[in-house]
Amino acid sequence: MEISYESTRGGQKGVTASQAILQGLAKDGGLFMPNQFPRLDKSLKELAPLSYQETAYEIMKLFLTDYTEEELKDCIAKAYDSKFDTEEIAPLAKADGTYFLELYHGNTIAFKDMALSILPYLMTTAARKNHVDKEIVILTATSGDTGKAAMAGFADVPGTRIIVFYPKDGVSRIQELQMRTQKGDNTCVAAIEGNFDDAQTGVKKIFNDKELERELAEKGFQLSSANSINIGRLVPQIVYYVYAYCKLLENEVIKEGEAINVVVPTGNFGNILAAYFAKRIGLPVKTLICASNENKVLFDFFSTGTYDRRREFILTNSPSMDILISSNLERLIYLSAGCDAQTNRELMRELSEQGSYQVTEAMRAFMSDFYGGYASQEESGAVIRHIFEDCGYLIDTHTGVAAAVYEKYRKETGDETVTVAASTASPYKFAPSVMAAIKGPEAVKGMDEFAVVDALSALSGTPVPQAVEEIRTAAIRHSRECAPAEMKNLVKNVLGV
């Protein structure tokens, strides 16, 4: 079955997967969606014994139908190799009655590696297939983890450059160091004076700037995106939900056909949307539990049907989820409107002009597989502590939000369905917050970041990941800062346009 891609705002249709990946964002500002959902063409029992790489092929071939078998397998082999510190790529760990799907065993110890390890290969293959003669410039807004994972993926990839914007005071110290020490002559990272939403809005504005597009084209550049607005990010993320189900099946935790729940710590709504896509292609998933931190715009949306970004932006200790404009929700809105681009376009206009929109009862009914919950820093800290004390298992602050929301969900509903929690970052990436949750804030007061890392290692008996060791002594290579209004100029400046 041939799948083509169309914009959620109606301006583009019949786009091939490789062209959609190259473009990133649709020309009308919308996001690319498959024109139909394919179905798994093997039973889950047949998929159960497959390796991660084999599973990846079985899923990705369904969506990326203009890539040849050889091209896809080549991209997969290059992406999911010894960069990951375990052959399983995404292991499952049981603690406190929950199956934690550890998505942080890649280069930069956050789940963004799952898709960003393969995106550069998908992108350069797409460029070759479409005879692109321009240099591809990846523009990326990051709430902390995408930036590093994207730079690690694209560093020194011929024919590409990458420019990353992160909120100056909105990322953890380790996240900042990871980005500012990034090597590669084609990489650039800048701190902006604003929050993640400012960075993402600025990047989207640059994408929609037709004059800039012309100027860049004249100089031999073409823009693309490594954010989860790129369908090339979303498709590889479907894989690990299927893989997790298969491992549960193989280990006889569930029977074939038995539905599971997933709980996902959510920011831009990309990861949980991938779980929903998995459901749509035939994975038995009952409830998709969308876990937010104190920036609980999605909780409010799922409880009321009104999306309202007009509120205070709260900086929390799960910074990768500090987001008020969850871009990928647009894809669910589009589906819930029966793929009516006009309805979606109108709602997105209201969001940008008035700061809010309301969906119809029918659209809400369409989304009833989703359950929205949120947890405060105190609640997620308490769960991090109790899972460590009771099970000796360490989770990071984002996964802590998911675990806390899941605990509340279970109490509220009595639902004991087998549940997979997306574990999105290594606890070492947020060591001071994790340590403070377990031992109290006094225990880390005034301590150097790396001293806390060592203390966490001693406490838990787990080794410090290579990604953290690397930045202990690495030289700072990037010191750019700019105001959101200056982002376009910075891009031109960096590219010499």
Ligand X SMILES: *Cc1c(COP(=O)(O)O)cnc(C)c1O
Q: Which of 21, 33, 72, 110 binds ligand X (CB under 6 A)?
A: 110
Q: Residue 161 forms beta bridges with which residues? A: 137
Size of the site for ligand X (CB under 6 A): 17
Q: Is 433 in the site for ligand X (CB under 6 A)?
A: no
Task: Tell me the one-letter amino acid at 81.
Answer: D
CA 250 to chain centre: 27
**CB within 8 A of 81, min separation 6: which ones?**
none
In the shown chain, the binding pattern of residues 369 to 408 toward ligand X, with x for contact by CB under 6 A and - for none, equals -----------------------------x----------
CB nearer ligand X, residue 20 or residue 421: 421
Q: Is 320 in the site for ligand X (CB under 6 A)?
A: yes
Q: How far is the CB of 424 from ligand X (least distance, A)?
A: 3
313: nearest Cα among 480, 169, 140: 169
Q: Which of 19, 230, 261, 266 binds ligand X (CB under 6 A)?
A: 266
Given 42, 112, 148, 439, the catalytic residue: 112
DSSP output for 112-141: HHHHHTTHHHHHHHHHHHTT--SEEEEEEE
Q: Which of 150, 162, 425, 482 binds ligand X (CB under 6 A)?
A: 425
Q: Which of 23, 178, 292, 424 binds ligand X (CB under 6 A)?
A: 424
Q: Is 268 in the site for ligand X (CB under 6 A)?
A: yes
Q: How far is the CB of 237 from ligand X (least distance, A)?
A: 8
Q: Is 267 in the site for ligand X (CB under 6 A)?
A: yes
CA 404 to chain centre: 20
The CA-to-CA distance between both ends of the chain, in Å, stands at: 42
Q: Is 225 in the site for ligand X (CB under 6 A)?
A: no
Q: Which of 246, 275, 321, 403 binds ligand X (CB under 6 A)?
A: 321
Each as own residue / partner, the long-range contacts of residues 72-79 (CB below 8 Å, 24 or more positions apart, any chain) are: 74/121, 74/125, 75/118, 75/121, 75/122, 75/125, 76/118, 77/53, 78/118, 78/121, 79/117, 79/118, 79/121, 79/236
Rg from Cα positions in the chain: 21
CB nearer ligand X, residue 17 or residue 234: 234
What tokens appear for 260 in the block? 């599971």
Q: Is 263 in the site for ligand X (CB under 6 A)?
A: no
Q: Residue 34 forms beta bridges with which residues? A: 5
Q: Is 269 in the site for ligand X (CB under 6 A)?
A: yes
Q: How far is the CB of 42 from ligand X (least distance, A)?
A: 27
Q: How far is the CB of 329 from ligand X (least distance, A)?
A: 10
DSSP output for 20-54: HHHH-S-TTS--EEESS----SS-HHHHTT--HHH
CB nearer ligand X, residue 10 or residue 465: 465
Q: Which of 195, 225, 271, 287 binds ligand X (CB under 6 A)?
A: 271
Tell me which stretch binds ligand X (CB under 6 A): 107-115, 124-132, 205-213, 294-302: 107-115
Q: How far is the CB of 298 from ligand X (least distance, A)?
A: 9
Q: How far is the CB of 48 from ligand X (least distance, A)?
A: 26
What tokens appear for 495 in the block? 């590219």
Q: Is 108 in the site for ligand X (CB under 6 A)?
A: no
Q: Which of 105, 112, 331, 410 binds ligand X (CB under 6 A)?
A: 112
Active-site annotation holds for 112: yes
Sheet holding 98-102, edge to edge: 92-95, 98-102, 419-423, 260-265, 285-292, 370-374
Tell me which stretch binds ligand X (CB under 6 A): 122-130, 248-256, 267-275, 303-311: 267-275
CB nearer ligand X, residue 345 or residue 398: 398
Q: Which of 6, 71, 113, 145 binds ligand X (CB under 6 A)?
A: 145
Q: Quick check: 180 and 205 in contact, CB under 8 A?
A: no
Q: Which of 167, 265, 372, 400 binds ligand X (CB under 6 A)?
A: 265
Residue 91 sits at the vertex; the CA angle it makes with 251 and 262, to the nearest 5 degrees, is 80
Whole-Å CA distances, 350 to 128, 168, 338: 39, 29, 19
Left (φ > 0), alpha (ψ -120 to 50) or beta: where does 431 sit? alpha
Angle, helices 449-460/466-473, rounded to nearest 10 degrees: 150
**CB within 8 A of 204, min separation 6: which ones?**
25, 29
Q: Is 160 in the site for ligand X (CB under 6 A)?
A: no
Q: Which sequence positions are flagged as catalytic?
A: 112
Can you give the binding site for ligand X, defined by CB under 6 A? Answer: 110-112, 145, 228, 265-271, 320-321, 398, 424-425
